[in-house]
Amino acid sequence: MSHAMRILLVGAGGVGSAFCAIAARRDFFETVVVSDYSLERAERAAATDERYAAAQLDASSAEAVAALCREHAITHVMNAVDPVFDMPVFEGAFAAGADYLDMAMSLSRPHPESPYEKPGVKLGDEQFAVAGHWEDASRLALVGIGVEPGLSDVFARYAADHLFSEIDELGTRDGADLVVTDDEGNEVFAPSFSMWTTIEECLNPPVVWEDGAWHTTAPFSEPEVFDFPEGIGPVECVNVEHEEVLLMPRWVDCRRATFKYGLGEEMIGILKVLHQLGLDSTEKVSVKGVEVSPRDVVAAVLPDPASIGPRMSGRTCAGVWVTGRGTDGEPRSTYLYHVVDNEWTMREYGHQCVVWQTAINPVVALELLATGVWKGAGVLGPEAFDAVPFLDLLVAYGSPWGIKEM
């Protein structure tokens, strides 16, 4: 490498703060500039390491992102804010000549006439539309490098390269047995991830890749009970719109790609009610003279996902269920997965397991980019790179992954 890695972290929420805690133990970078709309939040996350600095940033402004990049000679922009800000951060990084990573992709817009049959603007479409510009500039935008999307995509690539000769379905399956309790020990409703993002994912038309094309279905379609490993057990999973379905088929041959989320009955019920009441809407309404979006209100009245760690117990599991033919030509059904225990992440890192599991993957990816093990130009998903060094480094970070024959 001709110059040391200088990272701009955009967003010091749950995942951003966990990113700082994980990266603090590694030495592949020179500095991380931790930025957030709230300078106080950025300063709190930046206090974990002397290589970190804090800055205030409005992520909705590509110009502000570019200016901050130039000010700190940033080489890599790590986007850890809500996906609604994906494009300004992505564009700001490009304008400043930096490489870019995110853990989601640009947002979708449902098909105006038949939202539950045909995709409209798909997740990532806006980013893939300018892939040529990134390639021409020899710049890399590594999109969808959280846990899901991210590690799940790495697993898909690993399965295709090492376990299967032919893939029927790449089925991302996410489930957990997490419980949050109040001070009295009663179980409470407190999502472990951004409620804004959860509503966006779960109420948008889910996308399925089948026989060479993308199509959509109705929210919560195709319910199935999936038996998660390491004692988590059976959880009801439903189709949810997710980046993997838009990423995996671009690099990995498969007849079908799906994403099912183990929401469980309670969360499915709550999301349906929010939708019936119009509380999932992002359109602003006037309340006693104040303009607010109903979805922002829902997110604001729930506990901050970053703060619930001490009151949470259980494990979270991310993985890909791959079916098809093994390298021996025989039928094979295999689940590649990553389980993280909240008690362990709280004790070791002081961050709850869902945000920690999301944050470790971009740190691993940045280290592979810093050492030149991973390299590329254009807008690329995690499937575009060799999975083995990633999985080896994940283990070296102290977080093993598993394989279960189904």
**Domain boundaries 5-146+355-400, CATH class:** alpha beta
Q: How confident is the model at residue 268 (pLDDT cuts 50, 70, 90)?
A: confident
Question: Where exactly does CATH 3.30.360.10 map onto the chain?
Answer: 151-353
Find the range with the poorest average confidence among 306-315, 356-365, 381-390. Answer: 306-315
Helix 14-23 vs helix 39-46: angle between axes, to the nearest 10 degrees? Answer: 30
Q: Strand (E) positions, 252-308?
A: 256-261, 285-287, 290-292
Asked whether the predicted pLDDT for residue 307 surpasses 90, the reply is: no
Which of 55-64, 177-186, 203-212 is least confident? 177-186
Average pLDDT (256-284) is 92
Structure tokens that stand for 6 in this block: 């200088």
The answer, yes or no, to whether residue 8 has pLDDT greater than 80, is: yes
157 pLDDT higher than 80: yes
pLDDT at 3: 60
Hey, what amino acid is at 109?
Answer: R
CATH code linked to domain 151-353: 3.30.360.10
Q: Which two tokens stand for residue 84?
A: 């609604």
In angstroms, the CA 94 to CA 380 distance is 14
Strand partners of residue 34: 9, 54
pLDDT in tens, 131-155: 999 999 999 999 999 999 999 999 9
Q: What's the half-sphere exposure (Cβ side, CA atoms, 13 Å) at 86? A: 21
Which has more pLDDT, 84 or 2? 84
pLDDT at position 2: 44
Cα angle at 103 between 97 and 108, to 5 degrees?
Answer: 95
- SS3 for 71? helix
pLDDT-above-90 percentage for the chain:
86
Indicate whether 375 pLDDT > 90.
yes
pLDDT digits (tens, 9 = 90+) for 51-83: 999 999 999 999 999 999 999 999 999 999 989
Number of C-alpha atoms within 13 angstroms, CB side, residue 82?
A: 15
Residue 192 pLDDT exceeds 80: no
Displacement of CA 331 from its chain's centroid (Å): 31
Kindly indicate the confidence band of residue 171, based on its pLDDT and cuts at 50, 70 and 90: very high
> Across residues 84-112, what is the average pLDDT?
96
1 pLDDT above the threshold of 70: no
Query: Percentage of residues in the chain with pLDDT exceeding 70?
Result: 99
Per-residue confidence band for 266, with pLDDT thresholds at 50, 70 and 90? confident
Residue 232 has pLDDT above 80, yes or no: yes
Residues of the chain with CATH 3.40.50.720: 5-146+355-400
